[in-house]
């Protein structure tokens, strides 16, 4: 453990008992999702706890039958194995799932979707998500037919196969605001994306490189921009794979191609925001009444193994994301309290002591030598004194 968050949990409890009713997180269950069964919910029980700890009440929804609850603020699709039904797939007069999702997001609410390198092609859902700047990277032939997926691998991954990718934190813009607390409180725990499918910006979005601004202290970053039919949207990176990462071809769990994509820096988690404008007199002004769509290219990201361990930062990422895209009062400002690190540290360089830096640490080799001396020296001194006393007593007689 590197920190504790008792204050935050205590505040969450106060909010839970004082709020009139909790906002609802609706989890879709009619597309073969992992959370559609009791066994699947047990396999991802830590994920469900995270959602509840963020202040949401969980309800499971079949969007072909169930209406989205009035108090629902977040819809979530986790590891879908079947596509969303379109208008042509339903009885006449029935509202399609994607039409319901669109109307839901028009109310300035949020949607999250989790996929991975084993997710089958989902034409209807993916066509809809492209309007939000999200494209799941698929292998396609010359005729643009789907022939498989891409799977991100890295030589710095946790496992020997390179599948448990340790992601790089985004530090700027909207994505940087998600990771800000984790980076500033120190430690930056590892955030892991297993069996990940890379994500790209949709072709309908303009890729905008933003240069560094030394006056405002911001670094360079890139985002995707979209304005059409009075919709103003922008997609931002939250986590990416490292520069040396590679993508392997994958089809039904079998590697079909060694890395023929070595682009690196693959997007593993993105967040799209739609900003809305309201008229004020003769002009317009941006108001903070946004919709969000978050895409995460790894189902394993939310596994019990990664969320149930203090060694990884996946839980913190989910909590920060859920609170950022939510519209309810939640205890965001109560940061984790890092535990004191009493481990001896090496001095970064010998120049530190001469330059008057605040803290000077001895070298590791020096610490070992001092420990040995302080352990042996008292015994040597006592043995010497004992010998002297014995010799003097002997010759005194």
CATH architecture of the domain with residue range 3-338: 3-Layer(aba) Sandwich (3.40)
CA separation for the pair 384, 106 (Å, rounded): 86
The low-confidence residues of the chain, meaning pLDDT below 70, are 1-20, 277-288, 327-364, 396-397
Task: Name the residue with tokens 């990664």.
Answer: 306
* DSSP states of 261-322: E-----EEEEEEEEEEEEEETTEEEEEEEEEEEEEES-SGGG-HHHHT-TTBSHHHHHHHHH
| Residues 265-310: tens digit of each pLDDT | 999 999 999 998 655 555 555 556 899 999 999 999 999 999 999 8
pTM: 0.78
**What pLDDT, on the 0 to 100 scale, is given for residue 338?**
59
Task: Name the residue with tokens 């809809």.
Answer: 128
Q: Where are the domains of the chain?
A: 3-338, 351-396
Type and span of the H or E element at 30: none
**What pLDDT, on the 0 to 100 scale, is given for residue 330?**
47
């Amino acid at each position: 453990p590197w920190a504790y968050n008792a204050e935050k949990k205590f505040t969450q409890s106060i909010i839970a008992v004082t709020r009139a009713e909790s906002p609802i997180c609706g989890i879709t269950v009619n597309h073969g999702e992992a959370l559609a069964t009791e066994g699947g919910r047990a396999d991802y029980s830590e994920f469900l706890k995270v959602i509840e700890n963020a202040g949401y009440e969980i309800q499971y929804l079949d969007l072909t039958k169930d209406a989205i609850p009035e108090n629902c603020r977040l819809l979530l699709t986790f590891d879908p194995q079947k596509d969303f039904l379109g208008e042509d797939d339903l009885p006449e007069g029935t509202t399609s799932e994607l039409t319901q999702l669109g109307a839901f997001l028009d109310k300035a609410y949020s949607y999250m979707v989790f996929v991975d390198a084993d997710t089958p092609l989902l034409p209807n859902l993916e066509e809809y998500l492209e309007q939000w700047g999200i494209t799941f990277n698929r292998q396609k032939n010359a005729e643009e037919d789907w022939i498989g997926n891409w799977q991100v691998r890295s030589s710095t991954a946790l496992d020997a196969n390179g599948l448990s990718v340790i992601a790089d934190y985004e530090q700027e813009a909207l994505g940087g605001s998600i990771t800000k607390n984790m980076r500033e409180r120190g430690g930056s725990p590892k955030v892991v994306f297993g069996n990940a499918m890379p994500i790209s910006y949709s072709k309908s979005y303009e890729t905008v490189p933003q240069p560094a601004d030394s006056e405002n202290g911001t670094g360079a970053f890139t985002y995707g921009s979209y304005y059409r039919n009075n919709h103003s949207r922008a997609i931002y990176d939250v986590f990416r794979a490292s520069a040396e990462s590679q993508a392997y071809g994958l089809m039904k769990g079998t590697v079909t191609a060694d890395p023929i994509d070595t682009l690196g820096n693959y997007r593993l988690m993105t967040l799209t925001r739609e900003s809305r404008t309201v008229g004020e007199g003769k002009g317009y002004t941006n108001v903070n009444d946004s919709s969000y769509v978050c895409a995460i290219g790894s189902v394993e990201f939310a596994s019990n193994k990664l969320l149930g361990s203090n060694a990884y930062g996946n839980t913190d990422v989910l909590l920060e994301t859920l609170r950022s895209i939510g519209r309810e009062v939640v205890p965001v400002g109560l940061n984790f309290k890092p535990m004191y690190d009493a481990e001896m540290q090496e001095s970064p360089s010998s120049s530190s002591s001469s330059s008057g830096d605040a803290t000077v640490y001895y070298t590791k080799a020096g610490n070992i030598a001092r420990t040995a001396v302080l352990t042996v020296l008292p015994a040597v001194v006592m043995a010497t004194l004992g010998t002297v006393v014995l010799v003097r007593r002997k010759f005194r007689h």
